Amino acid sequence: MTRIAVIGAGQTGATAALGLLNRGHEVSLYSDRSPQNLFENTPATGTAVMYGEALAVEARLGMNTYRDVAPPIDGITGLLLSEPGMELMRISGEFGSELRGVGVDTRIRSFDRMNEFIRMGGRFVVDEVTTDNIDDIAAAHDLTLVSTGKGGLSAMFARDDERSDYTEPQRYLAMITVTGLPVDETAFTHRSDAGGRHNALSIVGGLGESIWCPYLHKTNGPSWSFLALARPGTEWEARLSAPTSADEMLTAITDLHREYLPWDAADVERMEVLTSDRHSWLKGRVLPIVREAVGHTPGGRAVMSLGDTSIAFDPIGAQGAQSGIKQAGFYVDAIADHDGPFDAAWMAATFDGYYERYGRAANLVTKLFLEQAAGGPVNELLITAAAGDSRVASALYGMLATPQRSLPIDSVDAALAWISRAVDDGDPQAVLDRAAASIADALRAHTEGRAFFARPELSLR
């Protein structure tokens, strides 16, 4: 029986540990806290929205997808401004039944899977693993997966310069979970007929992005999760980095909407802080990076990276949680199929297989949404066409669920061919012409002092 250690009991680590245990391996799951402590005393690590393909991996591993209890995410309605005040494009698309997603508090998944792991007979060890004691763990197991960067563990895995595009964080991030607004089609009705069954995305050129996501909170149930992504050095970064409490963060977000995102301000004014969760908010930066699959303990033993320790994503592309689950599923299968030592060569080859199947495209779609039109003519074509036809919008947002089906798109001709396929082999130029006409309407409205995006009336409070 293969002896496997998983270090880190977050969503990805707990999923891998339970998946491996269910396959008949002898698994030890290491965490610096008990399941209850993690559930009660840590923040959720992002909105953790997952779409159809990642949810299918969970189902295949025999795990709860939470689709029966979490509010559904049927699509995305995005409103784009070329600069503050210049309302330019509306891009609304549907995921369809195959790709439909859910946003679930990471603490729910981790807590449920840790407890199921223990119930099934897995060895759960509460201990702080660092570079001082990881060598003993690796020596006692046939394979050690490292799914946390705590204790200096991430430093064991070198940056992969060829696969890493950035050397600095690309956004300042602020997240909060709130209540007070229904999580259904009666919210954000000015955006689309789907209302709150869509993620509500706004992109403001030069400043950043914001997104409201239907969300299943660990104790409040259906709620709203908000994520703001401020470009470095902007006023948005200054405002979003200042709050020191959930109340201050919600006030900053509400003020930001009144000034920069007025179409959503009336709905945002109804939001309330979750008093039951003192960890309902967070802020900070993430450096997008790909690390080497293989690290070595101080004693020279090979260990393998997993989840954020392998690839850290900027959350704008919604790839972090999804990639971690897909990677866990890929590794569970690869371990079951392997007959031989789990040495450094196997670790590197297995990660390369995962990266080529999922990771590379996940990085590309993140880069597409990070750089947007500034990323070059291909990006500009894809985004512009999405404003000209809802089928293209659906295909563009579908990249968040299954980026490998579309990416890479590395030339203008390839982009035009992709647009044509999205509209049932129609004329891509006709799509771009419709987008150009819509943009012309937006520019005309701006010149005449009229709003281009629909918006409800603000309250007087």
Residue with tokens 């199921």: 116
> What does the alpha-carbon distance between residue 161 and residue 277 come to, in Å, rounded to a whole number?
39
- Residue 50: which region, alpha, beta or left (left: phi > 0; alpha: psi -120 to 50)? beta
Contact 130, 151 (CB under 8 A): yes
What angle do the packed helices 390-398 and 412-422 form, to 10 degrees?
110
The conformation of residue 298, written as its DSSP 8-state character, comes to: T
Q: Looking at the DSSP assignment, which residues form a beta bridge with residue 307?
A: none
> What does the alpha-carbon distance between residue 211 and residue 201 come to, in Å, rounded to a whole number?
4
DSSP-assigned letters across all residues of 97-136: HHH-EEEB-HHHHHHHHHHHHHHTT-EEEE----TTTHHH
Peptide bond into 408 cis (omega under 30): yes
Nearest to 126 by CA among 4, 9, 22: 9
Contact 69, 220 (CB under 8 A): no
Residue with tokens 């595009």: 165
Residue 343: how many CB atoms within 10 A of its CB? 11
Contact 106, 10 (CB under 8 A): yes
> What does the alpha-carbon distance between residue 331 and residue 337 come to, in Å, rounded to a whole number?
10
Mean pLDDT per segment of 10 residues, for the chain of length 461 residues? Answer: 96 98 98 97 92 98 97 98 95 96 98 98 98 97 96 95 98 98 96 97 97 98 98 98 98 97 96 96 97 98 98 97 98 97 98 98 97 94 98 98 95 97 98 98 95 73 39
Sequence-distant (6+) residues with CB within 8 A of 233 are none
What is the model's pLDDT at position 453?
A: 94
> What does the alpha-carbon distance between residue 321 and residue 307 come to, in Å, rounded to a whole number?
8
Nearest to 203 by CA among 390, 63, 371, 320: 371
Kindly report the pTM of this predicted structure. 0.96
Residue 380: how many CB atoms within 10 A of its CB? 15
> What does the alpha-carbon distance between residue 28 and residue 3 come to, in Å, rounded to a whole number?
8
- For 168-261, list the strands marked E by DSSP: 172-179, 198-204, 208-217, 221-230
Q: How many helices (H) and strands (E) does the chain have?
A: 16, 19
Q: Which helix (H) or strand (E) holds 234?
A: none
Q: Where are the alpha helices (DSSP H) in 222-376?
A: 235-241, 246-260, 265-268, 320-337, 344-354, 360-371
**If DSSP codes are grouped into helix, strand and coil, which group holds residue 281?**
strand
> What does the alpha-carbon distance between residue 95 and residue 101 come to, in Å, rounded to a whole number?
8
Rg (CA), the chain: 22
Contact 76, 397 (CB under 8 A): yes
- The pair of structure tokens assigned to 151 is 């204790």
What is the model's pLDDT at position 1?
A: 80
- Residue 376: which region, alpha, beta or left (left: phi > 0; alpha: psi -120 to 50)? left
Domains of the chain by start residue, with CATH: 3-45+106-166+288-364 (3.50.50.60), 72-101+168-285 (3.30.9.40), 369-447 (no CATH)
DSSP-assigned letters across all residues of 328-346: HHHHHHHHHH--S---HHH
Residue 111: how many CB atoms within 10 A of its CB? 20
Sequence-distant (6+) residues with CB within 8 A of 69 are 216, 221
